[in-house]
Structure 1
Amino acid sequence: MDSPDGPRAPGEDALHALGFPARPEPPPASAARFPDGGAWRTELPSCEGPAVLEAVLDESARLDVPLHRISQGSGVWMLTDDEITLMLAGCAERGIELSLFLGPRGTWEPGAGARAYNASGPRARGRDQLAQCVEDAERATSLGVRSLLVADEGVLWTLHCLRASGRLPADTRFKVSALVGPVNPVSFSIWERLGADSVNVPSDLTVAQLAEIRALSAAPMDFYVEAPDDLGGYVRIYDAAELIRCGAPIYLKFGLRNVPGLYPVGRHLLSAAVETGRERVRRGRLVLDTLARLGAGEGMSPPGSSDPGPLQRFPTPPHPPRRTP
């Protein structure tokens, strides 16, 4: 039986009454928390431009779905300066962190290998794409963006070195994309040490595997409660309470399956981007309602929270590394 003082597992009371055997011992709970004391925050992904943001903010107010972070997937380079400024203003007004993807990635360039080998697809191919990601980061931060989505460990380390050296603002945060999410405790901790301030893990990981990651690292974890089809299409609404219990500090991401691909977005996909944005908010309401019914709705970070807390880093070199002749 579950403790009367804590959240309940869905359906277990009924099964116990019928004489079913007790549940197996659950994985250990995480004692780690965000600096504000919260165990979990919320994220709305795939918010592709000002029109989608306006719809998402309207729906989140209508359905009372608090959002700590809103992220975009097409990339900084697919937005004008005015569009970025509009999105920043809309998020700042509501105390929401805006995270923009760094644009150039292997699947969008001529090399066929990036499409043939999924592991290399989202990464920055060659020096030029690495430099283009840096250009994206410098442009975005100059406009006021302080959260950037990264899908390459080389790009992440380069940006972290630029942040450590003062070339990028010290309060810039880097979020590791679900496209390259780690699947074991050591790889998760390596991304943290390379400069990540939160790390997206694949949504097919078990709760026990999340607890294993937590035993080694306290870095914030990002997790699609509902994953897009190209990330597996998993729907884990009933797991949300255990995701929080074992994965804290964690961002619950309100994704959506059964939707057309949106990246890179444009006017030709605007109606789909807007409507799927609204539905992602509704999916968030379903998650929050389920948590409340199970007695697991407490412990969310206060609105406006974004600080990841102190994290472990590899030492950065005093100067950019150079190849010895």
Structure 2
Amino acid sequence: MPRFPDGAHYRVEIPSVEGPRCLDAVLTEADRLEVPVSRVSQGSGVGMLTDAEIGEMVKLGAAAGVELSLFARPCAAWGPSAMARMPAGAVLAPTAWGQDQLTAAVDEIRRAADLGVRSVLVSDLGVLATLGRLRTAGELPADLQAKVSVMLPVANPATAEVLVGLGANTLNLPTDLTLAHIAEIRAAVDVPLDVYVEAPDNLGGFVRHHELPTLVELAAPVYIKFGLRNAPDVYPSGTHLDDLTTALSRERVRRARLGLDLLHRAGSTAVCSPPGAPGLALPVP
């Protein structure tokens, strides 16, 4: 089985950690339930956080040895695109709509990097390619990682190879790929895969905990992600939703505990990375 640099097969990721209070809740609950969280990701976007809020998240993540990944938005769904709001055009929603949105997304990546963030979610091919070029040219930190969002579909091995060639460091796969599909992509690329074990309703609402033992074996090195079914869509989030988003964050950690318990009962010998492990894009205070 391929592994992470520390020899582990899998790592735990908690998504939709939308601000400092959510991150603090995740870290507190992870300590209480003994869940080794390696990465948290955010979906509302860099632009929905103040510099002070990002700075607080950077300090919390660095102290805990947890990678912090913020979304590089805006995108078509947040702009004037009518097509992105139509059933047939929904695939366009995560794309950068025009040069202005492309520039804005890259500006937010620069801002996040300047504040110490070393991992950004990308949902647009042009944004990914630009990030890769700027990183190669030394205009962005060499250790800044590009995490391809689930909103940029990586549904086959050829697509996975293209995205890695453009500079992707990890690939978030569609939530409904079969284990066989996931194995095909793993055979094509060496970068870590990010796979939802439980997906929010707007991404299918799948609860695939029972597949964890096989998933870890086939997809390693893999980030197992615990979203939350039967939870409201809170993007873009803000302080007006703090009580809700912190409660959702705590429950995602509990879902991760359920997954780890299942792996243990199944007799899995796969190894999980601890926080602070080599290869994590840890924030820099």
TM-score of the aligned structures, taking structure 2 as reference length: 0.95
One of 194, 197, 204 as aligned partner of 1:232: 204
Structure 2 residue aligned with 1:176 = 148
SS at match of 2:188: coil
What is the CA–CA distance in structure 2 between the aligned matches of 1:185 and 1:266, rounded to whole Å?
Answer: 37
Q: Where do 5+ consecutive residues of structure 1 fail to align?
A: 1-30, 310-325
Indicate if the aligned counterparts of 2:20 and 2:57 stay in contact, CA closer than 8 A: yes
Indicate if the aligned counterparts of 1:97 and 1:306 stay in contact, CA closer than 8 A: no
User: 1:1-325 residue pairs with structure 2 within 5 A?
Assistant: 31-116=1-86, 117-296=89-268, 298-305=270-277, 307=279
What is the CA–CA distance in structure 1 between the aligned matches of 2:263 and 2:152, rounded to whole Å?
Answer: 28
Q: CA deviation at 1:82?
A: 0.4
Counterpart code for 1:239: E
Indicate if the aligned counterparts of 2:67 and 2:280 stay in contact, CA closer than 8 A: no
Indicate if the aligned counterparts of 2:119 and 2:144 stay in contact, CA closer than 8 A: yes
What is the CA–CA distance in structure 1 between the aligned matches of 2:58 and 2:67, rounded to whole Å?
Answer: 8
**Superposed structure 1 runs of 4+ greater than 4 Å apart:** none
Counterpart code for 1:259: A
Indicate if the aligned counterparts of 1:48 and 1:73 stay in contact, CA closer than 8 A: yes
Q: CA deviation at 1:267?
A: 2.4
Which whole-Å deviations, capped at 9, do the CAs of 1:174-210 have from their partners, x for residues lacking one? 0000112211111111111111100000121111111
What is the CA–CA distance in structure 2 between the aligned matches of 1:173 and 1:297, rounded to whole Å?
Answer: 29
SS at match of 1:303: coil
Indicate if the aligned counterparts of 2:45 and 2:73 stay in contact, CA closer than 8 A: yes
After the TM superposition, which of the residue ranges 173-182 and 276-285 deviates more from structure 2? Answer: 173-182
Tell me the number of residue pairs that the alignment of Structure 1 and Structure 2 aligns.
279
What is the CA–CA distance in structure 1 between the aligned matches of 2:104 and 2:172, rounded to whole Å?
Answer: 23
Indicate if the aligned counterparts of 2:17 and 2:23 stay in contact, CA closer than 8 A: yes
SS at match of 1:205: coil
What is the CA–CA distance in structure 1 between the aligned matches of 2:83 and 2:241, rounded to whole Å?
Answer: 27
Q: CA deviation at 1:305?
A: 2.2
Indicate if the aligned counterparts of 1:288 and 1:297 stay in contact, CA closer than 8 A: no
Which whole-Å deviations, capped at 9, do the CAs of 1:251-298 have from their partners, x for residues lacking one? 000110111111000122221101100100000000000000011153
CA distance 1:306–1:83, change in 2 (3 Å): farther
SS at match of 2:253: helix
Q: CA deviation at 1:51?
A: 0.9
Please, what is the CA RMSD of the aligned residues? 1.3
What is the CA–CA distance in structure 1 between the aligned matches of 2:277 and 2:78, rounded to whole Å?
Answer: 34
- Whichever of the two has the greater Rg, that structure is 1
Higher fraction of helix: 2
Indicate if the aligned counterparts of 1:115 and 1:121 stay in contact, CA closer than 8 A: yes
What is the CA–CA distance in structure 1 between the aligned matches of 2:60 and 2:149, rounded to whole Å?
Answer: 23
SS at match of 2:11: strand
